[in-house]
Structure 1
Amino acid sequence: MRERLPWIVWAIAMLGLGFTAYLGARNDSFSAEGPFLVIAMTMIAGYSTIGALIASRTKGNPIGWLLMSVGVGFLLGGMTDEYLTFAYRRGWDDRALTTFIGWLTNWVFLALVLPIPWILLLFPDGKLPSRRWRPVGMAILASSALVAVASILAPGPIDATVSPKPANPTGVESLKPVIDLVLAVAGTTLLALGFASVVGLLLRYRRSRGEERQQMRWFVAATGFGAALLVGAIVSGLGEGGDTRPINEVFFFAFFMVLAIGLPGACAIAILRYRLYDFDVVVRKTVLYTTVALLLIAAFLVFAVVVGQAVIEANPLAILASIAMGLAFWPAVRLARRVADRIVYGGRATPYEVLTDFSHRVAGSYAAEDVLPRMALILSEAVGAAQAIVWLRVGDELRPAGLAPADRAAPGAVRSHGDLLPDLPGDAAVEVRDQGALLGALTVSMPANDPMNASKGRLVQDLASQAGLVLRNVRLIEELRASRQRLVAAQDQARRKLERNIHDGAQQQLVALTVKLRLLEQIAGRDPAKAAEIATQLQEEATVALDDLRDLARGIYPPLLADKGLPAALEAQARKLPVPVAVEAGDLGRFSQEVEAAVYFSCLEALQNITKYADASEVKISLARSNGQLSFGVTDDGVGFDTASVSHGSGLQGIADRLDALGGTFEIVSTVGVGTAINGSVPVAEN
């Protein structure tokens, strides 16, 4: 009901405006004061419509009702004048009724119109600039109430345009001096408070920033211009002894124009251009239906003038005319929709068009170099951004993967902390998630003259909600590409390591054996004792070379792992380390070759990192099987490190790749000065 009540009042006001126009036509008022009446009717419609829009959509903001009160107040004044003129010209005898209507409207009009300074104090958020302005607001209400009460008790004729003017039925002749004084003091006070409200508006504008400043700009300009015109009107009327100079009339008429059209027009610009109160949908529908009605009315008037009344009265042709009007309805709707979209969204597409265009343009294209720049371009065009960026999460960082316009410099990658969105450059940043996982983000940087607002923020949110699946597919492609590169690099590194170990180890040992065998051949006959000594050395060195070759073979795939399983293979490797290593496994059983190899080499990589960096005094390897998962943990009591600031090296990345290939998980928990725990798990069959 709260949303409907303003529109009920608006509908009544529009009916009253139509009735006033009818009375004005019957009184021949348009021929005498046509331009003024048109401006006044525009003012009433403008204040009432803008006020109804605001009152129906904002809770706790009185600006809408204040604007409507101004429109209704001027409507009551104009309708009463036209009605009294209509009644007096026809000599109606019920003068008591007409007098009562004129009396009631006279002071109600003042009570509804005089609080205009309140609008200046409360614009745009419906709140006073500060608590210090509360006395000013209360003084405005008190002065307005005094003027209204004094008008009720003022003796003499009612202020109306008819002659003779009806007498005020509640006027008290004995209070005339007091009432005149009250009217003079309260009126002067209201004038001063009005200028004080202008000062308050200017101070609020000076403190405003961004979107609020853009919303207030036109309203402040109209208010300042109107205040200057009012000062000019007052100054130009001084010292004339009651006579009116032409320049004074010009100032007052210009002031009335600003009051009638400037203030509601400035509110309309703030709503349409800068999304004040977030009225996109409501304003679009209002403009749409109003434009359709005006187009159909114009078409009917043209048809009536061109074809003529005689044709309309002929039944067959009237039917054809009705069909023609019906056929013209849908073109009128399409034209009105384009007009409404142009007024509300300017040169940008509507939110529905943006989302539809996004779905069509990204369909079937999942290459990062194609779809993400398209997404950034759509986002930039949708909100009018100076720059739009699509961020893609790869590993533990967010990278700018799509940029619009493309010629702008791209920012660097931003490290992410867990599953939380980090601070990203731009005026607005919206995370993109799919199934709860952070996949990336959309950021926009707005131009200074078109800041971010709630409607644009919702549009970015809607695009982000649609972008989840796209970013997931793109990230999978990017991760697959990166993993392939790491796989190739790891294979090359393994080959180089194997080549180096063979060259520096077993090959050199075999070369030395060859040299000593030749020496043994030369001295075998001359010095049997020396030959026996060399033979013993050759046997020892051959054993060492054989052990080294076995170690190389175990590095490729250890035979002990294939024969005995994970616990035995890990215990054998643990005995070779300079740090005490405890292996806790229990009765694990055996697993597939891929699973055992992945866990074995992951644990070996963790042990190698501990040996290089941890400075630990003890290490524990734990293996467990439960709920279809084989989990492992390698824990040390070493120096630890900050996981947020230290990136993963190739070894840890290799662990992640091994486990991820089997659908497993990988986690590092480390505390500086306490130690590090590397935990992982892979799915295994229950049997």
Structure 2
Amino acid sequence: MTVRVGTPARLAWSLWGLCVVLIAVALVLFVINADARPAGSYGSLDAVIDVGILGFPTVGAAIVARHPDNAIGWLLLATGLGSAVAQALLEYGAYSLLRAPGTLPGGAWAGVVADAVIWPSVAATSALMFALFPTGHAPSRRWRWLKWAVAVDVLAYVAGTLFAPGGLHYFPTVPNPFPATSLVMSAVRRVAAPALIPALILGLLAVVVRFRRSRGAERLQISWMFYLATLLLASTPLTMALSGTNLHVGGIPVNELAFAGFLMAVPLAVGVAILRYRLYDIDVVINRTLVYGALSLILAAAYVGSVLLLQLVVSPVTRGSGAEVAVSTLVVAGLFRPLRSRIQAGVDRRFFRSRYDAARTLEAFGTRLRDQLDIDALGNDLQAVVNDTVQPTHVSLWLRGSGR
């Protein structure tokens, strides 16, 4: 059979359209179901997660359209499709079993299939995505067994979930419509589910191995994955701290919104690494993250400290007029530019030494330029600066009216 050039792209965007339809159905049923939520539901965050899921098939379809042979695009599509199917079925099950029992058939069937699909679509595809990133192939032949191990584990999990006796995971009071006659399937499910965790760890280890061996463009691509992993690890303490607060945005806890943001960041980082890594230089992104992350923390601490200090000092005079907040805001605004310059210089000096040295060289040349009158000496200085900062293979200087 001859496959036309546009067939993978059309198939990918068709699957993307299916994901959009399923998520739209899930969102409509989410609104209708109101407080009739499945067990383990995140409440209002479910709607945010539904929208965030679309990032996976969107990036996956874009990758397949340009690189149809790269398995990463298809894995992202599988993650999006499996998650969209599971969310739509869960909302359908919630309506059929909880919101309006008996009005629609197949609620139990929807609940058990959703349970069988959701975990493999996230954990299994993520493990394979790490192991195959960014080329779509394993780092070496030694890693090929991981693909087969994950496939076998997924089949065991699906079978154990579909045929395990007892109540459903998301609807505990509803019996499984496809129960087996023994408890073997329950044991299979209990073993298969945690077995995907080592697969995820091995996938991350494969990224490390590939990074150590990679050069050039592939190394830049993998750097994006490391950047995302670093952000996730660094933000974990903040997310845990926010979980103990009552901060909400639109009725959704801030820590849950942060989790949804990380969910959307995964396909975005993969897409940038594979499709646009030459446009978005990872060093520039890391530089900006370090500078503005440190700047935000320092200014936030300065603002809170200033407000608390002024409240202690001037509260007897201001009597709750809010003057301390206004003064603190002005202080933080005044600190922004000088503090950003100092942090930028510190980050460049510590982490981006070549850029820092280049800036110092140009600054010194500018100082000499104001006092230099000798054209020959100035030309030599200019060539030395270009060599130190740009590091070209050859430098030529042409002056009007000169033979050089």
Q: Same fold by TM (over 0.5)?
A: yes
Whole-Å separation in 2 of the counterparts to 1:19 and 1:10: 14
Whole-Å separation in 1 of the counterparts to 2:139 and 2:234: 22
Once the two structures are TM-superposed, the CA of residue 11 in structure 1 deviates from its matched residue by 0.9
Q: Amino acid of the residue matched to residue 223 of structure 2?
A: R
Of residues 139, 144, 148 in structure 1, which corresponds to 2:158?
148
Whole-Å separation in 2 of the counterparts to 1:192 and 1:94: 40
State the SS of the aligned residue for 1:154. coil
Once the two structures are TM-superposed, the CA of residue 184 in structure 1 deviates from its matched residue by 3.4
Once the two structures are TM-superposed, the CA of residue 41 in structure 1 deviates from its matched residue by 2.2
- CA distance change for structure 1 residues 151 and 139 in 2, over 3 Å: closer, same or farther? same
Partner of 1:123: 133
Are 2:166 and 2:179, in contact at CA under 8 Å, matched by a contact in 1? yes
Between Structure 1 and Structure 2, which shows a larger proportion of helix residues?
A: 2
Once the two structures are TM-superposed, the CA of residue 153 in structure 1 deviates from its matched residue by 1.6
Partner of 1:67: 76
- CA distance change for structure 1 residues 199 and 258 in 2, over 3 Å: closer, same or farther? farther
Q: Amino acid of the residue matched to residue 171 of structure 1?
A: P
Of residues 22, 27, 32 in structure 1, which corresponds to 2:33?
27
- Please say if 1:215 is aligned against 2:221: yes
Q: Deviations over 1:252-273 (max 9, x none)?
A: 9699547612311212332564
Q: Amino acid of the residue matched to residue 137 of structure 1?
A: K
Q: Deviations over 1:438-496 (max 9, x none)?
A: xxxxxxxxxxxxxxxxxxxxxxxxxxxxxxxxxxxxxxxxxxxxxxxxxxxxxxxxxxx
Whole-Å separation in 1 of the counterparts to 2:201 and 2:230: 10
Partner of 1:40: 49
Once the two structures are TM-superposed, the CA of residue 229 in structure 1 deviates from its matched residue by 8.8
Of residues 254, 261, 273 in structure 2, which corresponds to 1:270?
273
Whole-Å separation in 1 of the counterparts to 2:189 and 2:206: 25
Partner of 1:322: none
State the SS of the aligned residue for 2:93. helix
TM value normalised by structure 1: 0.35
Of residues 193, 198, 213 in structure 2, which corresponds to 1:192?
198
Are 1:226 and 1:258, in contact at CA under 8 Å, matched by a contact in 2? no
Q: Deviations over 1:184-242 (max 9, x none)?
A: 332332211211111111121222223222222221232466579999x9xx9xxxxxx
Whole-Å separation in 1 of the counterparts to 2:127 and 2:224: 17
Q: Amino acid of the residue matched to residue 78 of structure 2?
A: S
Are 1:122 and 1:128, in contact at CA under 8 Å, matched by a contact in 2? yes
State the SS of the aligned residue for 2:8. coil
Are 1:219 and 1:266, in contact at CA under 8 Å, matched by a contact in 2? yes
Q: Amino acid of the residue matched to residue 272 of structure 2?
A: I
Q: How does 1:465-484 map to 2 (within 5 A)?
A: none
- CA distance change for structure 1 residues 30 and 86 in 2, over 3 Å: closer, same or farther? closer
Unaligned runs of at least 5 residues, structure 2: 1-6, 246-252, 280-382, 395-404
Partner of 2:209: 203
Whole-Å separation in 1 of the counterparts to 2:198 and 2:169: 24
Q: Deviations over 1:347-404 (max 9, x none)?
A: xxxxxxxxxxxxxxxxxxxxxxxxxxxxxxxxxxxxxxxxxxxxxxxxxxxxxxxxxx
Once the two structures are TM-superposed, the CA of residue 124 in structure 1 deviates from its matched residue by 0.7
Q: Amino acid of the residue matched to residue 68 of structure 1?
A: L
- CA distance change for structure 1 residues 212 and 141 in 2, over 3 Å: closer, same or farther? same
- Please say if 1:182 is aligned against 2:192: no
- CA distance change for structure 1 residues 14 and 216 in 2, over 3 Å: closer, same or farther? same
Q: Amino acid of the residue matched to residue 160 of structure 2?
A: A
Partner of 1:260: 263
Q: Amino acid of the residue matched to residue 67 of structure 1?
A: L
- CA distance change for structure 1 residues 87 and 152 in 2, over 3 Å: closer, same or farther? closer
Are 2:168 and 2:174, in contact at CA under 8 Å, matched by a contact in 1? yes
Whole-Å separation in 1 of the counterparts to 2:163 and 2:235: 32
- CA distance change for structure 1 residues 121 and 33 in 2, over 3 Å: closer, same or farther? closer
Q: Amino acid of the residue matched to residue 82 of structure 2?
A: G
Are 2:123 and 2:200, in contact at CA under 8 Å, matched by a contact in 1? no
Are 2:134 and 2:274, in contact at CA under 8 Å, matched by a contact in 1? no
Partner of 1:86: 95
Q: Deviations over 1:615-658 (max 9, x none)?
A: xxxxxxxxxxxxxxxxxxxxxxxxxxxxxxxxxxxxxxxxxxxx
- Please say if 1:137 is aligned against 2:147: yes
Of residues 6, 10, 13 in structure 2, which corresponds to 1:7?
13
Partner of 1:105: 114
Once the two structures are TM-superposed, the CA of residue 121 in structure 1 deviates from its matched residue by 0.5
Q: How does 1:325-336 map to 2 (within 5 A)?
A: none
Once the two structures are TM-superposed, the CA of residue 125 in structure 1 deviates from its matched residue by 0.7
Whole-Å separation in 2 of the counterparts to 1:207 and 1:406: 35
- CA distance change for structure 1 residues 147 and 246 in 2, over 3 Å: closer, same or farther? farther
Once the two structures are TM-superposed, the CA of residue 425 in structure 1 deviates from its matched residue by 5.2
Whole-Å separation in 1 of the counterparts to 2:156 and 2:42: 32
Once the two structures are TM-superposed, the CA of residue 13 in structure 1 deviates from its matched residue by 0.9
Q: Amino acid of the residue matched to residue 128 of structure 2?
A: W
Q: Deviations over 1:144-170 (max 9, x none)?
A: 22111111121112222x5x7432122
- CA distance change for structure 1 residues 108 and 34 in 2, over 3 Å: closer, same or farther? closer
Whole-Å separation in 2 of the counterparts to 1:137 and 1:228: 30
- CA distance change for structure 1 residues 35 and 271 in 2, over 3 Å: closer, same or farther? farther
Q: Amino acid of the residue matched to residue 142 of structure 2?
A: R
Once the two structures are TM-superposed, the CA of residue 38 in structure 1 deviates from its matched residue by 4.2
Whole-Å separation in 2 of the counterparts to 1:255 and 1:118: 25
Q: Deviations over 1:382-440 (max 9, x none)?
A: xxxxxxxxxxxxxxxxxxxxxxx99846xxxxxxxxxxxxxx959xxxxxxxxxxxxxx
State the SS of the aligned residue for 1:81. helix
Between Structure 1 and Structure 2, which shows a larger proportion of strand residues?
A: 1
Are 2:131 and 2:206, in contact at CA under 8 Å, matched by a contact in 1? yes
Q: Deviations over 1:76-97 (max 9, x none)?
A: 22211211222332233444x2
Are 1:223 and 1:263, in contact at CA under 8 Å, matched by a contact in 2? no
Higher RCO by CA contacts (8 Å cutoff, separation 6 or greater)? 2
Are 1:157 and 1:167, in contact at CA under 8 Å, matched by a contact in 2? yes
Partner of 1:168: 176
- CA distance change for structure 1 residues 185 and 227 in 2, over 3 Å: closer, same or farther? farther
Determine which structure has more spread, i.e. the larger CA radius of gyration.
1
TM value normalised by structure 2: 0.57
State the SS of the aligned residue for 2:96. helix
Q: Amino acid of the residue matched to residue 144 of structure 2?
A: R
- CA distance change for structure 1 residues 57 and 273 in 2, over 3 Å: closer, same or farther? closer
Q: Deviations over 1:293-352 (max 9, x none)?
A: xxxxxxxxxxxxxxxxxxxxxxxxxxxxxxxxxxxxxxxxxxxxxxxxxxxxxxxxxxxx
- CA distance change for structure 1 residues 229 and 73 in 2, over 3 Å: closer, same or farther? farther
Q: Give the aligned length.
A: 269
Q: How does 1:523-672 map to 2 (within 5 A)?
A: none
Are 1:143 and 1:189, in contact at CA under 8 Å, matched by a contact in 2? yes
Once the two structures are TM-superposed, the CA of residue 44 in structure 1 deviates from its matched residue by 1.0
Q: Amino acid of the residue matched to residue 184 of structure 1?
A: R
Are 1:153 and 1:171, in contact at CA under 8 Å, matched by a contact in 2? yes
Are 1:10 and 1:52, in contact at CA under 8 Å, matched by a contact in 2? yes
Whole-Å separation in 1 of the counterparts to 2:176 and 2:165: 6
